[in-house]
Amino acid sequence: MDTTGAEAVPTATVTPRWRRRLRPYLLATPAVLLCVGILYPFFVGVAYTVYNFSDANREPSFVGLTNFADILGSDTLWHSARVTVAFAVAATTVETVLGVGVALLLHRSSLLGRLLERLLIVPLMVAPIIAAIMWKLILLPEVGWVRPILAAVGVHGYRGTDGAGAAFFWSVVVDAWLYTPFVAILALAGLRSLPNSPFEAAAVDGANWWLTFRRLTLPMLWPYVLVAVIFRFMDCLKVFDIIYGLTAGGPGDATTTLQINAYLEAITYARYSRGMTFMLILWVVVYAISFVLVRYLGRVQNRAAGVSIGTPAAAPAGATASTATGVEAG
C-alpha cells in the first residue's frame, strides 16, 4: 500500500526516569529556600535572647532567661504594651467604622461614587514613613496647615504633637488616613457580593434602612469586615514607621510602642539581646491574638455559610418573607 502523503503519527516523548524523580524536588526548592530565609533569622534572633549581646560587651556569655526576667519585671515593657494595645484598638476601631461607612456610601451607584472609588486607593500608594513625615510637616505649629485652620474657627493654643494626648491622637489620625481605604475596599467588595433577594424581601415587607442594615447587611457583611479588622489589628500591634516618623515615640515615652522600644534597645542603645527579647515578646503576643481571631473568623464564616445555605422553603407554611430572612417590618 502506498503511504506517500499520509500524515505521520507523532510519537510520544518518553521522559527519563531520573527527571521524573527529580521534578518534585525542583518544584519544592523555592518554597524550601523561602522557609530557610524566613526561619534562619528568626532562630538567630531567638538565640540572641539567651545571651548578653551588646556593643559594650565584646565577649557575650550565656545568661539564660535573665533578659526576659529583667524586661518582664520592668515598667518600660508594661507601659509600651499599654500604648501598643491602646493604639491598636483606637486605630482599628476608627478605621473599621469609617471604612464601612465609606463603603456604604460608595455602594450607591453614581458618577461621583465611581470617581471617589478610584481616588480611594491613593493613600495606600504612599509609603507609611513618607506619610508620617508629610503629616509631621503639616502638623508643625510654626509652618503647618493645621494651626491656621484651627485659628480660623476660634481654636487657639495649638501645639502640634508636643502634648502626650495630642501625639497619640495624631498618630491614630495618620494611621486612619492611610489605612481606612483598605477597610473600605474590603467592605465594598463584600457589599457587592451579597445576594439581592433578602433585601428585596425586606423592602417588600416595609423594613426601614436601619433595620435592614442591622438585621441583614451587617450580619452578612461581618465576615468581610472581620477579615479587615484582623489585618489592621495585627498590623497596628506591630506599628513602627508611622509613630516613629511622626513622634519618634515622644513626647517622653507617651507614644513609645513595643516596636519602638525594641528599636531603641537594639539600635540606639546597642543592646542587641534586649532588643531581640522585646521583639520576641511582641511576636508571642501577636501570634496568640492572631490565633484567637483567626479561629473566631472561621466560626463566623461557617455560621454565615450556614445561614446562606438555608432555604426559605424550610419555613412554616404561611410565614412571610420577613420571617424567612430574619427581618421584622419596622
Is pLDDT above 80 for 188?
A: yes
Name the residue with higher pLDDT: 264 or 316: 264
- Amino acid at position 47, single letter: A
Is pLDDT above 90 for 152?
A: no
Give the residue-averaged pLDDT of 273-277.
91
**Residues 6 or more apart in contact with residue 61 via CB below 8 angstroms:** 51, 52
By mean pLDDT, which of 246-250, 268-272, 285-289, 309-313 is the weakest? 309-313
Give the residue-averaged pLDDT of 308-326.
42
Is pLDDT above 90 for 7?
A: no
Q: What pLDDT is recorded for position 229?
A: 92
C-alpha cell at 218: 451587617
Q: What is the pLDDT of residues 11-60, one digit of tens each?
A: 667 778 888 888 888 889 999 999 999 899 899 989 989 999 888 887 88
Read off the pTM: 0.80
Q: Three-state DSSP class for 29?
A: helix
Q: What pLDDT is recorded for position 322?
A: 42
Under the banding of pLDDT at 50, 70 and 90, the label for residue 197 is confident
- Amino acid at position 36, single letter: V
Residue 266 CB burial class (10 angstroms; 0-12, 13-18, ≥19): buried
How many other CB atoms are there within 10 angstroms of residue 59's CB atom? 5
Q: What is the pLDDT of residues 76-121, one digit of tens each?
A: 899 999 999 999 999 999 999 999 998 888 887 667 777 777 778 8
Give the residue-averaged pLDDT of 155-175.
89
**Residues 6 or more apart in contact with residue 80 via CB below 8 angstroms:** 253, 256, 257, 258, 260, 261
How many other CB atoms are there within 10 angstroms of residue 296's CB atom? 12
Contact at 8 Å (CB) between 231 and 95? no
| DSSP-assigned states of every residue in 81-139 | HHHHHHHHHHHHHHHHHHHHHHHHHHTS--HHHHHHHHHTTTGGGS-HHHHHHHHHHHH
**Residues 6 or more apart in contact with residue 272 via CB below 8 angstroms:** 48, 53, 54, 55, 266
Percent of the chain with pLDDT over 70: 87
**Residues 6 or more apart in contact with residue 24 via CB below 8 angstroms:** none
C-alpha cell at 125: 500608594
Q: What pLDDT is recorded for position 130?
A: 92
- Read off the DSSP letter of residue 51: B
Name the residue with higher pLDDT: 80 or 199: 80
Is pLDDT above 70 for 321?
A: no
Under the banding of pLDDT at 50, 70 and 90, the label for residue 325 is very low
Q: How far is the C-alpha of 17 from the C-alpha of 315, rounded, in Å?
A: 61
Q: How far is the C-alpha of 141 from the C-alpha of 155, rounded, in Å?
A: 13
Is pLDDT above 90 for 61?
A: no
C-alpha cell at 70: 529583667
Residue 106 CB burial class (10 angstroms; 0-12, 13-18, ≥19): buried
Name the residue with higher pLDDT: 216 or 318: 216
Domains of the chain in sequence order: 75-265+285-304 (1.10.3720.10)
114-117 long-range contacts, Cβ below 8 Å, gap at least 24? 117/188
Name the residue with higher pLDDT: 325 or 214: 214
Q: What pLDDT is recorded for position 327?
A: 43
Mean per-residue pLDDT over the chain, rounded:
83
Angle at 132 between CA 126 and CA 134, to 5 degrees: 80
Q: What are phi and psi of 271, to 5 degrees?
A: -105, 85
Q: What pLDDT is recorded for position 163?
A: 86
- Read off the DSSP letter of residue 213: I
Contact at 8 Å (CB) between 53 and 60? yes
Q: What pLDDT is recorded for position 180?
A: 93
